[in-house]
Amino acid sequence: MPIVNDAPPTDSVRVYLKEIGSIKLLKANEEIELARKIADLLHFWTLDKKEILLA
C-alpha cells in the first residue's frame, strides 16, 4: 500500500525543512570572502596588546 502524504506541514521537521529552503545560500566566492574575514578577526583577537599598539 503506497503512503499518501497530503497533510499540511504540521510536524516540526517538515516545517523546519520548508523554512530553511527559503534561505539564500552563499556563493563560492562569498564563502571564501567570509572565511578570510573570519580568519583575519581570529588572528586579530590572538594578537598581544603590544603588537596592536606597535602596528
Beta carbons of 26 and 34 less than 8 angstroms apart: yes
In the chain, how many domains are there? Answer: 1
Task: For residue 44, give its domain range.
Answer: 27-55
Residue 37 falls within a domain, yes or no? yes
Using one digit for the tens of pLDDT, what is the confidence trace for 3-52?
Answer: 656 666 578 888 888 899 999 999 999 999 999 999 999 888 887 766 66
Please check whether residue 1 lies inside any domain of the structure. no
5, three cell numbers: 502524504
pLDDT of residue 46: 84
Structure confidence at residue 54 as a pLDDT band (50, 70, 90)? low
Q: How confident is the model at residue 55 (pLDDT cuts 50, 70, 90)?
A: low
Cβ–Cβ contacts within 10 Å for residue 27, how many? 9
Binned at pLDDT 50, 70 and 90, residue 2 comes out as low
